[in-house]
Amino acid sequence: MSVEINRRVFVKCAGQTTSLLVAGGTLLAACGGKVSTLGSSSSSTLQSAQGLKQSGLLQWGATSQGGAPYVYPDPSDSTLLVGFEYEIAVALSQWLEIQQKEVETDYSQLDEALQAGKFDVILNGWESTTERQKSELFTQSYYRYGQQIVVRANDQRFSSRTANDVLGLKALEGFTVGTGAGLKAADLLSTDSQITLKTYDPALPFDDLDRGRIDAVLIDLPVVAYYVLGAGAGAQADKKLRLIGQPFALGDYVIALKKAAPGATLLLKMLDQAITELKNNGTLHNILAKWQLWNDQQASIGTI
């Protein structure tokens, strides 16, 4: 009798499993279909002669999360991207007569992802440092930026300072200064022991500055242009804050390539040519002026 029970149980289980498999199979077949062309592959054997992972497509790594005004979702159609770096990427690819595609990556993983070959270049407020030169190639600068100090407009302690003064870290000694985590400003501020540093991740410290929880913010000029000056789609000028001092600790935004990638030197040459062209024909000037990022310091890198 136990043998018969087992057979019944077995047949029932087998029937259930088969029907499940058949249902799953029909579901998959209904949802999927055959596509004849192979999609983009991450295999390293598909390098083209232009040095791109996929020929005719410049894949650039950036983050759109918290990326105003570099690369961020368009406020009027959030499935599209805007940002001054997005526009630079579009301009570059147009001049090179290829397509461009942003590969969404977390900011902290940009160099790892570049080394792993997830995209061709990094175009996201990237700087050349001695550390990075070991594994990356850099184009010429497309934007000379600096760190900008922002304080409350009604803060009496800074009333003697204006936006044209030449200030440095010393002006912030004895105050609580906020900035974003992982930014160069955080590094700079941590070198001065008389400054109390507060890092924010992922939000930005302007809200706390408004509320009076910190005394000043030191952060890259493009960020200030968006959040305080109100430049760019979806931005609003914040009247409660004001800039003091000219941008200092100047640096250059460059495009980074993986040194060990095949065709890297060729791609580097192409990109450098494209950037020079954009500087000379005024496209870069227009983009920067539109985002209120243009200042006299740009002439020093050849942007007219």
Partner 1 sequence: MDLAVRAFPAFLSGAINTVLYCISSFPLALLLGLLLSVLSNSRFTWLRVPTRTFIEIIRGTPMIAQIFILYYGIGAILGVYGLAGLINSWTAGIASLAINYAAYEAEVFRAGFLSVDKGQTEAAYSLGLTRGQTFFRIVLPQSIPFMIPPFVNDFIYMLKDSAIVSAIAGTELTSVLNFWATRNSSNPLPLYLIAIVLYLLMSLPTSYVARLFERRLRAAL
Partner 2 sequence: MSEIYKEQIASDPVPATTRLDRLAARKRIILLILDVLFFIVAFVLVLAFCYYLYSYRQLLVLYLPVFLDGLRVTIWISLVSVVLAIIFGLLGAFARLSRFAVVRWLAMIYVEVVRGTPILVQLLLWYFGFGAVLTQMGIDPYRIVYSLATTLQINSLFQDSNFDAYLFGIIGLSFNYGAYLTEVFRSGIQSVEHGQSEAALSLGMNSRQIMRHIIFPQAIRMVIPPFTNNFITLIQDSALLSIVGLEELEHATFALALPQVNPGNKMFVFIFGALFYLVICYPLSLFAHYCEARIAKAY
Positions in the binding site for partner 2 (CB under 8 A): 28-29, 31-35, 38-44, 64-69, 72-73, 75-79, 103-106, 108-109, 112-113, 116-118, 202-204, 207, 210, 226-227, 230, 234-236, 238
- What is the nearest approach in angstroms of partner 2 to the Cβ of residue 263? 18
- What is the nearest approach in angstroms of partner 2 to the Cβ of residue 299? 29
CA end-to-end span of the chain, whole Å?
95
Rounded Cα gap, residues 136 and 44, in angstroms: 17
**Which of partner 1, partner 2, none sits in contact with 204, Cβ below 5 to 8 A by type?**
partner 2
The residue among 197 and 228 lying less far from partner 1, judged by its C-beta, is 197
H/E element, 138:
strand 136-138
Residues that bind partner 1 (CB under 8 A): 108, 111-112, 131-132, 134-135, 178, 181-182, 186-187, 190, 198-203, 205, 207-208, 211-214
Residue 220's beta-bridge partner residues? 147
Return the sign of the alpha-carbon dihedral for residues 259, 264, 270, 274.
negative
- What is the nearest approach in angstroms of partner 1 to the Cβ of residue 55? 29
Rounded Cα gap, residues 101 and 92, in angstroms: 12
The residue among 256 and 293 lying less far from partner 1, judged by its C-beta, is 256
300, amino acid identity:
S
The residue among 52 and 256 lying less far from partner 1, judged by its C-beta, is 256
- What is the nearest approach in angstroms of partner 1 to the Cβ of residue 182? 4
User: Closest by alpha carbon to 101, among 52, 45, 38, 37?
Assistant: 52
Peptide linkage before 75 cis (omega within 30 of 0): no
- What is the nearest approach in angstroms of partner 2 to the Cβ of residue 234? 6
The residue among 223 and 287 lying less far from partner 1, judged by its C-beta, is 223
- What is the nearest approach in angstroms of partner 1 to the Cβ of residue 12? 32
**Which of partner 2, partner 1, none sits in contact with 66, Cβ below 5 to 8 A by type?**
partner 2
Residue given tokens 């969404």 in the structure block: 104
Q: What is the largest CA-CA distance in the chain?
A: 99
The residue among 41 and 162 lying less far from partner 2, judged by its C-beta, is 41
**Which of partner 2, partner 1, none sits in contact with 35, Cβ below 5 to 8 A by type?**
partner 2
H/E element, 13:
helix 2-31
Residue given tokens 């992982």 in the structure block: 182
Residue given tokens 């850099």 in the structure block: 138
**Which of partner 1, partner 2, none sits in contact with 103, Cβ below 5 to 8 A by type?**
partner 2
10, amino acid identity:
F
**Which of partner 1, partner 2, none sits in contact with 104, Cβ below 5 to 8 A by type?**
partner 2
Residue given tokens 């006299």 in the structure block: 296
SS3 state of residue 257: strand
Classify each residue of 126-136 as buried b or exposed e, where b means 16 or more C-beta atoms within 10 Å of its C-beta: bebeeebeeeb
- What is the nearest approach in angstroms of partner 2 to the Cβ of residue 166? 28
The residue among 97 and 131 lying less far from partner 1, judged by its C-beta, is 131
The residue among 82 and 171 lying less far from partner 2, judged by its C-beta, is 82
